[in-house]
């Protein structure tokens, strides 16, 4: 156990929350009258000292811990604004809400240590390049052509070799899908066996630039090809996937393209030159949200039918709120160079330099 520095007190907390309030309302974009913002709390990370690889600051483990991961720090905090665990990210940790992995540079090659979110060690295991996709643990292998899956105890479940390098990826509990540089989608089941393979095609140069997999595993969306690009949405039917809808695009990206199957399992978001495209999985709805984005992520408040899109352009980040299918409610600017942003329901958590902060969207 380690204590906070003595300089942090109630006055500091009040000033911190006031700072968030001023930033959001003075420097932010515009929200419609029915949607407003309520600042919640701020955690100054420089008020905590870390020893060894990480330190724990509570005798009890709060329910519903959230993880964060930046170039400088990794750790866990509660939704109520209490820091639980903080570590320095010298070892390039892989982190999820349930567990984290630290590489052992002074031990044998490829040795890693798996820990639960409460800081308790699970076991050492061997892997090449570990990463979490949600709460699922994987390792990239064979120079980017291979993939290995691990369970919650660090035991290898399976490994799989794709015909060429992976260029896009998505996973749910019983399915991992990779897009490759030679233009194929290939699905791998929970036993490490091929489930399906499909080539969207339709372009001079075939490559999978973006891939989105719904949380149910029912839909796969992909942007493929160069000269000219194609959006393909596939629906699961039995054990295979069949094309549900598709569209040729005006874009001609030579870089990864964000594609997301939204949480409602009914719509797909994809990057466009003129904004963010929104298409229903059956192709009947085709809209463009007037929000330019180099990259983005999405979270839905299902109770209010509002979707929040985290928009990134270089060091700039903002959150655009819209009501389905395409009514823009406004946007909120975040501080430049936010290292981490997480949206859950109507609440937003972000890390900027040496602090974690939270605010909440509310309806009038």
User: Considering its fold, how many domains does the chain have in total?
Assistant: 2
Q: State whether 337 and 272 are in the same domain.
A: no
Q: What is the pLDDT of residues 297-324, one digit of tens each?
A: 999 988 888 899 999 999 999 999 998 8
Give the separation between CA 167 and CA 164, rounded to whole angstroms: 9
268: in domain: yes
How many CB atoms lie under 10 A from the CB of residue 344? 14
176: in domain: yes
Q: State whether 349 and 262 are in the same domain.
A: no
Left, alpha or beta for 354 (phi > 0: left; psi -120 to 50: alpha)?
alpha
Q: State whether 178 and 208 are in the same domain.
A: yes
Q: What pLDDT shows up at residue 245? A: 94
Domain of 182, in residue numbers: 162-289
Q: State whether 186 and 283 are in the same domain.
A: yes
Q: State whether 363 and 306 are in the same domain.
A: yes
Q: State whether 191 and 210 are in the same domain.
A: yes
137: in domain: no
How many CB atoms lie under 10 A from the CB of residue 194? 11
Last residue of a domain, one of 271, 289, 307: 289
Closest residue by Cα to residue 69 from 259, 362, 350, 359 = 350
According to DSSP, the β-strands at 306-313 and 295-301 are: antiparallel
245: in domain: yes
How does DSSP assign 155-183, residue by residue? -EEEEEE-SS-EEEEEEETTEEEEEETTS
Q: State whether 283 and 303 are in the same domain.
A: no
Last residue of a domain, one of 289, 316, 337: 289
Let me know: does 230 contact 247? Beta carbons within 8 Å.
Answer: yes
Positions of the chain with pLDDT under 50: 1-15, 17-27
Q: State whether 274 and 166 are in the same domain.
A: yes
How many CB atoms lie under 10 A from the CB of residue 252? 12
Q: State whether 315 and 265 are in the same domain.
A: no
Q: State whether 244 and 361 are in the same domain.
A: no
Q: What pLDDT shows up at residue 270? A: 97
Last residue of a domain, one of 289, 321, 350: 289
How many CB atoms lie under 10 A from the CB of residue 5? 11
The residues, any chain, with a CB within 8 Å of residue 173's CB and separated by 6 or more, are 136, 190
What token pair was written down for 267? 């719509």
Q: State whether 260 and 168 are in the same domain.
A: yes
CATH number, domain of 208, equals 2.130.10.10
356: in domain: yes
Closest residue by Cα to residue 152 from 169, 135, 139, 140 = 135
310: in domain: yes
How many CB atoms lie under 10 A from the CB of residue 64? 9
72: in domain: no
How does DSSP assign 3-29, residue by residue? PPPTT--HHHHHHHHHHHHHHHHHHS-
Give the separation between CA 85 and CA 136, rounded to whole angstroms: 21
211: in domain: yes
Q: State whether 211 and 184 are in the same domain.
A: yes
């Amino acid at each position: 156990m380690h204590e906070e520095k003595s300089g942090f007190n109630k006055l500091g907390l009040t000033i911190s929350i006031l700072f968030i309030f001023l930033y959001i309302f003075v420097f932010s974009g515009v929200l419609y009258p029915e949607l407003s913002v309520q600042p919640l709390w701020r955690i100054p990370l420089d008020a905590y000292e870390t020893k060894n690889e990480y330190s724990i600051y509570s005798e009890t483990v709060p329910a519903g811990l959230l993880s964060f991961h930046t170039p400088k720090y990794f750790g866990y905090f509660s939704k109520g604004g209490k820091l639980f665990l903080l570590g320095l990210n010298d070892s390039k940790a892989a982190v999820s809400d349930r567990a984290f992995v630290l590489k052992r540079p002074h031990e044998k090659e490829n040795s890693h240590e798996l820990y639960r979110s409460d800081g308790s060690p699970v076991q050492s295991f061997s892997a090449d390049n570990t990463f979490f996709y949600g709460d699922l643990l994987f390792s990239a292998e064979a120079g980017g052509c291979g993939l290995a899956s691990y369970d919650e105890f660090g035991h290898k479940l399976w490994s799989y070799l794709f015909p060429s390098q992976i260029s896009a990826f998505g996973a749910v509990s019983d399915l991992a899908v990779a897009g490759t540089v030679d233009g194929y989608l290939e699905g791998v089941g929970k036993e490490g066996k091929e489930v399906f393979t499909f080539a969207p095609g339709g372009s001079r140069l075939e490559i999978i630039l973006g891939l989105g997999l719904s949380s149910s595993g029912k839909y796969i969306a992909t942007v493929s090809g160069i000269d000219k690009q194609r959006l393909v949405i596939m629906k699961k039917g039995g054990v295979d996937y069949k094309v549900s809808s598709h569209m040729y695009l005006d874009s001609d990206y030579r870089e990864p393209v964000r594609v997301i199957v939204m949480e409602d399992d009914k719509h797909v978001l994809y990057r466009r030159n003129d904004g963010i495209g929104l298409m229903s999985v059956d192709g009947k709805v085709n809209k463009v949200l007037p929000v330019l984005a180099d990259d983005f992520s999405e979270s839905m408040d299902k109770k209010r039918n509002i979707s929040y899109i985290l928009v990134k352009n270089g060091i700039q980040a903002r959150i655009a709120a819209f009501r389905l299918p395409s009514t823009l409610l406004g946007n909120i600017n975040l501080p430049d160079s936010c290292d981490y942003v997480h949206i859950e329901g109507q609440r937003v958590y972000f890390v900027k330099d040496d602090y974690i902060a939270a605010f909440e969207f509310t309806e009038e």
